[in-house]
Amino acid sequence: MSNNKVTQEHIQKIMDNSEFEISTAFDKCTVVSCKLPSGFVITESSACVDPANYDIKLGAEICTKRIVDKVWELEGYKLQHSMK
């Protein structure tokens, strides 16, 4: 088995060393911006139809998962590119 892989531990270390800003837009949209240790910024949003159903905690969880998924993609690309 090859050692050329991105690990959960690697991704977790990146996330642990990232800065997050969470805000609400228009009373129903959560916006999460994540500044990675490299300085690269990823922004995601999540919204509901009715502001009465708005839950910032749920919105932040959804956005954070999307950011983690994007970090996996970016780290995979970086690894693949370094193997050339």
Q: Hey, which bits of 1-84 come out as E strands? A: 19-25, 29-35, 41-47
Low-confidence ranges of the chain (pLDDT < 70): 1
**pLDDT value of residue 84:** 78
Q: How far is CA 77 from the centre of its chain?
A: 16
* Residue 14 and residue 75 in contact, taking contact as beta carbons nearer than 8 Å: yes
Asked whether the whole model's pTM tops 0.85, one would answer yes
Rounded Cα distance between 62 and 78, Å, is 25
pLDDT for residue 77: 96
Six token digits for residue 62: 């959804």
**Pairwise CA distance, residues 6 & 1, whole Å:** 13
Q: Please report the pLDDT score of residue 83 as a whole number.
A: 86
Domain positions in the chain are 8-82
